[in-house]
Amino acid sequence: MVSSDLMEILDPGFLSTVQDAGRYGWLRYGVPPSGPLDAAAFQAANALVENAPAAAGMEITWTGPALRITRDALIAVCGADFELWAGRRPVPTWHSVVLRAGEVLRFGTRRSGARAYLAVDGGIALPPYLESQATYLPGGFGGMEGRALRAGDHLPLHRSQLDPFAAAGKCWSLSRRPAYSAKPVLRVILGPQAEAFTQEGIAAFLSNAYSLSAASDRMGARLHGPAIAHAGHAGHAGTGSSISDGVIAGCIQVPPDGQPIIMLADHQSTGGYPKIAVVLRADLPLLAQLLPGDQMRFQALDAVASRRSITWNREVISNSPAPA
């Protein structure tokens, strides 16, 4: 149920959008899922305020917003490590805290990471587009009129079903948070088109560091590093192209210049560059928290090891007991 309570945006920060768990079932029509780039932090924030895992919240990139809510609210901020203030009170991340009616929540210095997620008890209540509130900026739909938030925006909230003062004080423990790092090792499964690359190309991919380009966006993480050589055929050099086929978040395409692109939440439905590997979904949050210039390496796993990781991720992230 939508109430008359609102979240007012005083300062949107660099890039803040409304996201829910994503817009699934429409990729066949060319509509990407969107949703949070760091699903682990998004779900943790919702759990801390006792929302459903898919409840709409705010994705905050690089610099944070300032906002206020017209009612007492239970809030949580997870993901990047920001300095936070509620009025004059310091607020910890990865905790549930009360924001009093009319009190300003202000994001200060970002100590590490790239993206944070703000959840409010009840969740944001904008009209859904194709069954989702997720913002897709290139398409101009979802969220707040299909755009980034602006100063002066008023976001409606669902009616809260809890007493924020009684529910506050929960913490998402360090042991259950993603192992964020400015130089992560991302686990991958080679393929589905590993045969499109030379053995030297695959070795370069697995033995070198690649840095995140400033040209990256929510559609794809563009990387810089040693070129990955495509395999030739019939005595000809590889062209770096193939028949277009399906694309998912985490798949790594390699265009003719040999510089990999990792598909993210706003990925297209099909792609014609061969795919050397797929990043495990459990490790996509590590990628989401990187800044331009940060470096990553890749570690190949077999299918059995990847299934163990997926099982662990579901237990720790999706089906965790209530925060302590």
pLDDT tens-digit map of 114-142: 999 999 999 999 999 999 999 999 999 99
Torsion of CA 212, 214, 220, 222, to 10 degrees: -50
Write the CATH number of the domain with boundaries 185-318. 2.40.100.10
- In this prediction, residue 239 carries a pLDDT of 58
- In this prediction, residue 4 carries a pLDDT of 74
Lowest mean pLDDT across 33-37, 129-133, 299-303, 313-317 = 313-317
Mean pLDDT (whole number) for 299-309: 71
- In this prediction, residue 242 carries a pLDDT of 66
Give the global pTM: 0.91
Gap between the Cα atoms of 113 and 82, Å rounded: 9
Task: State the first-to-last Cα distance of the chain, in angstroms, to the nearest integer.
Answer: 28
pLDDT digits over 2-21, tens only?
667 999 999 999 999 999 99
Torsion of CA 109, 112, 113, 117, to 10 degrees: -50
Joined tokens for residue 66? 């300032």
pLDDT digits over 185-210, tens only?
999 999 999 999 999 999 999 999 99
pLDDT digits over 60-117, tens only?
999 999 999 999 999 999 999 999 999 999 999 999 999 999 999 999 999 999 999 9
Write down the domain spans for the chain: 2-175, 185-318
Helix (H) or strand (E) holding 190, with range, is strand 185-190
- In this prediction, residue 48 carries a pLDDT of 98
- In the chain, % of residues over pLDDT 90: 85
* Cβ atoms < 10 Å from Cβ of 125: 19
Burial (CB count <10 Å: 0-12, 13-18, 19+), residue 68: buried
Q: How confident is the model at residue 318 (pLDDT cuts 50, 70, 90)?
A: very low
Cα torsion 46, 51, 52, 57: sign: negative
What does the mean pLDDT of the chain come to? 91
Pairing of strands 2-11, 270-271: unpaired
